[in-house]
Amino acid sequence: MSVLTRHPRYCLLLICVLLGAFFMLSTPSFPAGSLRPGSSISKVLADEDRLYDEALKARQELVEKWGPTDEDVASFPEPQTGYFYTLWDFFLPVFRCPHLVQRVGTLGDGGKWVCGLDRIARQSKPCTIYSFGINGESSFEAALLEAAPHCEVWGYDFSVTSFGPEIANVSALDARGHFFSYALSGDDAPHATPPRFTLQSLMQQNGHDFIDILKVDIESWEFESLDAFVDAFIPSPSYEAHHPHAAPAELPVLPVGQLQLEIHAWGQNGEFKRFRKWWERLENAGLRPFWTEPNLVYINLVRGSKPDLAEYSFMNIRGNHALVSDRY
């Protein structure tokens, strides 16, 4: 008599093991961070935004705890106050990018966190990258160009004369790079020294109506520059406040897919009330933070300084681009 005949439970166990193995082998695998076929990006984004709304309520509760008003909140409390928070605790990256998230570029200062680069690399339309703040180091921009051969990058930095060696010394990449010694600003002054332009003016000069990846690292000028950019496309105050029943497709759209931003919360820009108003303008424009990391290199170099520099990555939840569309 066989073991299976004498012990039916072994036969049942063997069948379960075989069925499990068959299921595992026959189930298709998907890259990390990708959506399974049949899932809808729009539904995932809607679910994430509902969770994000809960984070906004928690932000207000934190203000009331430590304030109780915006005017009363210190962005970086002095140690003797015993207040256990910093500015960044009010603005957490609680939105989840529904695609692969990866750090692109060099480790340490210079690399950035990007959402859905694999999707951008596969999209059918040309890919446009803008990078403000080069400072002689272009590992981030070079890695993007290598990952997505149909991308081109427009770089701007008045403190240097070219991209860093990661692009300048690689002819195949340099051919897809366009560099200008201009400053990004909240107004246009083409005859100033250095020449300065708004982002919307530069897009018009270059014939672009959309930026897939926008990197901004411009030593606190991001506040007025992004204010001007949002002003050009998003009515203020919030469109949603005046159109509470508007569908997402009806909301005004900022022409950018994602934003990699170093924030310099220095001086007046770092005052809590002022900062919160600026930040919430980005949120009202459809930008959602999905990643952050403090600039610890800066903290280490300037010992005893406040942790007032932080890297954030945002995705735009509106429009029709690779991060929000099932067809790209």
Q: Which residue has the higher pLDDT, 21 or 131?
A: 131
Segments making up each domain of the chain, as ranges: 1-30, 41-316
Q: Which CATH architecture has domain 41-316?
A: 3-Layer(aba) Sandwich (3.40)
* Tokens found for residue 272: 């809590």
Q: What pLDDT score does 3 carry?
A: 46
User: What are the CA-CA distances from residue 196 to residues 157, 202, 204, 256, 298 (Å)?
Assistant: 10, 10, 14, 20, 26
The reply to whether omega before 68 is within 30° of 0 (cis) is yes
Cα–Cα distance for residue pair 230/284, rounded to 1 Å: 9
User: What are the CA-CA distances from residue 208 to residues 80, 159, 182, 255, 274 (Å)?
Assistant: 51, 25, 17, 9, 31
pTM (two decimals): 0.86
Which pLDDT band, with edges at 50, 70 and 90, does 11 fall under?
A: very low
> What percent of the chain shows pLDDT beyond 90?
74
Cα–Cα distance for residue pair 306/298, rounded to 1 Å: 10
Asked if 308 contacts 123 with a C-beta cutoff of 8 angstroms, the reply is no
CA angle 59, 86, 53 (to 5 degrees): 15
Q: What pLDDT score does 303 carry?
A: 78
Q: What pLDDT score does 12 carry?
A: 47
pLDDT by residue (tens digit) across 69-89? 999 999 999 989 989 999 999
DSSP string, 154-200: EEE-TTSSS--HHHHT-HHHHTTEEEE--EE-SS-BTTSSS-EE-HH
Q: Which residue has the higher pLDDT, 109 or 165?
A: 165
DSSP string, 253-317: --SEEEEEEEEE--GGGGSHHHHHHHHHHHHHTTEEEEEEEE-HHHHHHSTT----EEEEEEEE-
Q: Who's near 241: CB < 8 A, 6+ residues apart? A: none
Which pLDDT band, with edges at 50, 70 and 90, does 27 fall under?
A: very low
Cα–Cα distance for residue pair 203/222, rounded to 1 Å: 17
Q: Which residue has the higher pLDDT, 302 or 73?
A: 73
> Mean pLDDT in the chain?
87
* Tokens found for residue 102: 């990866």
Q: What pLDDT score does 25 carry?
A: 38
Which pLDDT band, with edges at 50, 70 and 90, does 44 fall under?
A: very high
**Residue tagged 């049949």 (tokens):** 38
Q: Who's near 115: CB < 8 A, 6+ residues apart? A: 97, 99, 100, 101, 258, 290, 291, 313, 315, 323
Q: What pLDDT score does 13 carry?
A: 45
pLDDT by residue (tens digit) across 135-145? 989 999 999 99
* 127 three-class SS: strand
297 pLDDT higher than 90: no
Q: What pLDDT score does 9 carry?
A: 52
Instruction: Pick the range with the lowest mean pLDDT from 182-186, 246-250, 276-280.
Output: 246-250
